[in-house]
A and B are shown apart, each in its own frame.
Chain A
Amino acid sequence: MIVVGWLDEFMWGSLVVLQIFFLALIMAVTWGLLGAAAKLSSNRAAKLTATVFTTIFRGTPELLVLLIIYFGSAITLTSIAQFFDPEVKFVDIPPLWAGSFAVSLIIGAYATETFRGAFQGVDPGTVEAARSLGISSTKTFFYVRLPQMWRLALPGFGNHMLSLVKDTALVSVIGLEEILFTADIATSVTIQPFTMYMVAALIYLGFTTVIMYGVRLMEKRANRHLEGGR
């Protein structure tokens, strides 16, 4: 099997995908929570900012977002650097970070909508009950709203995680040696595109299967308090 010679490269590529996945996941959850909080707040400026955010990042092709963020940040950084030292040719944000950041903005925009809907599904009576017990609003958020919202957000958020894994394949265009990038190189050397792309696809399928299974477990856990309801 010709694939065996490339297993090392594919493994490194998988590690890069995992790195992007976790970096972007943490950032996407952050944007999603901030975005949902902004959309639900009574502050008009915050609302507007969040709406602009979700409109832009849900409405632009993902590949373009990635390219614009990577090259946009590189051009900005380069011109700043050249201001201090005209000899400098090109400065960029490390592609791993630029890629994770771009992907996190896209997924964060979708997560904003999911989280907003889930927060609205939380019975406000439970929040009042917590406040009437003297629990501070911050603690009420973490101990009463968030756990209830999480159950409602999980199905949608599970889908966002799948999109996130698949979006990591885009990051090859800015030169990150992830799985698709490896498949491209392997193809150009071995001239066996079908085999190499199949390997890449199977690796992605492995990741997404694990995520789907994980989300199912989490949903079961989040719903256990509803079992045997009357």
Chain B
Amino acid sequence: MAQTEQDPIIRLKNVDKFFGDFQALKKVNLEVFKGQKVVVCGPSGSGKSTMIRCINRLESHDGGRILVNGIELNDSLRNIDAVRSEVGMVFQQFNLFPHLTAVGNLMLAPRLVRKKSKAEAREIAMRYLERVHIPEQADKYPVQLSGGQQQRVAIARALCMNPEIMLFDEPTSALDPEMIHEVLDVMVELANEGMTMICVTHEMGFARSVADLTVFMDAGEIVEAKPPQEFFENPEHERTRLFLSQILSH
């Protein structure tokens, strides 16, 4: 399947996802174009994590189709690995490898997946540690880093694979307030460099300043998807309005 410039880089078509009898995603449709920044918000349990985890197949969907960079996500292991090495993911809990140093965390995938030599991998790793402004922490272990530093290492680790797309699942929710901005700054820089991003977050300031599209999910459905200006000024659905009034009030 040929991928042209006009085709979306991510396309979800009528995606369903079940956990047992419980339907976590209901006919979800989403198109993301190259370079677009999408912010996803919605109440707890609405399926935000499930949706982005389906995009790199940490969860498998039960209905509909998901195409990433022209590759259909199905049971083909080759497709899954191809997609995963193009899609970086950042988790709420950082999920760094505790037994490896910061630079060791960054070097692992380039070495194992891209077959880089140790020296090459280290060079790549140092380049990305500089991009997230913590080259001096390279030889520390994750426990020796602050939450904000750990999350920046996690972002750099994903960037080392040179992904086309970055997925963020509440990257600042586990951080102390004073560390949130240092992570958001890195994400804004990344956005300005033209990275395609899908970001689950309730940082509405980030959504306003960076997002091209704001998506509101509730009960497994995408209720509303609009540019942030319209989304915040003029929400169409009652559920969106209720949600916005709740999170903007504190």
Q: Which residues of A contact B (CB under 8 A)?
A: 123, 125-126, 128-136, 139, 143-144, 147-148, 151, 224-230
Contact = CB atoms under 8 A, between A and B. Distances in A.
Contacts of A132: 56, 58, 84, 87-89, 158
B137 interface: no
29 contacts: A125-B91, A126-B96, A126-B97, A129-B96, A130-B108, A130-B109, A132-B58, A132-B87, A132-B89, A132-B158, A133-B85, A133-B88, A133-B113, A133-B157, A133-B161, A134-B81, A135-B109, A135-B113, A136-B81, A136-B112, A143-B112, A144-B97, A144-B108, A225-B141, A225-B142, A225-B143, A226-B143, A230-B143, A230-B144
Interface of B: 56, 58, 81, 84-85, 87-89, 91, 93, 95-101, 108-109, 112-113, 141-144, 146, 154, 157-158, 161
A228 B99 CA distance: 14
A135 B143 contact: no
8 residue pairs, one from A and one from B, having the closest CB atoms: A134-B85, A229-B143, A125-B95, A133-B109, A129-B95, A225-B141, A134-B84, A132-B89
A151 B142 CA distance: 16
Contact of B112 (A126, A135, A230): A135
A148 B142 CA distance: 13
Interface centre among A131, A224, A225 (most CB of B within 10 A): A225
Given A130-B97, A132-B89, A136-B112, 13 more contacts: A123-B95, A126-B96, A126-B98, A129-B91, A129-B154, A133-B109, A134-B109, A135-B112, A143-B112, A224-B141, A225-B98, A225-B142, A228-B143
B91 A147 contact: no
A28 B118 CA distance: 33
A152 to B, nearest CB: 11
B127 to A, nearest CB: 17
A167 B98 CA distance: 36
A125 B143 CA distance: 15
A129 B97 contact: yes
A224 B101 CA distance: 11
A224 B89 CA distance: 28
Contacts of B143: 225-226, 228-230
B213 to A, nearest CB: 23
A81 B157 CA distance: 61
Contacts, number: 83
B162 to A, nearest CB: 11
A171 B21 CA distance: 56
Given A147-B99, A228-B144, A134 B58 contact: no
Nearest to A228: B144
Contact of B158 (A123, A131, A133): A133
A123 B91 CA distance: 13
B97 A226 contact: no
Contacts of A224: 141
A31 B87 CA distance: 37
B96 A134 contact: no
Contacts of A136: 81, 112
Contacts of B109: 130, 133-135
A128 B81 contact: no
Nearest to A224: B141
Given A226-B141, A229-B143, A230-B146, A133 B95 contact: no
B96 A225 contact: no
Contacts of A229: 141, 143-144
A148 B99 contact: yes
Contacts of A151: 99
B158 A126 contact: no
A176 B16 CA distance: 65
A132 B56 CA distance: 7
Contacts of B154: 129
Contacts of B93: 125
Contacts of A123: 95, 98
Contacts of B91: 125, 128-129
Contact of B58 (A128, A135, A139, A225): A128
B146 A134 contact: no
B99 A131 contact: no
A113 B81 CA distance: 33
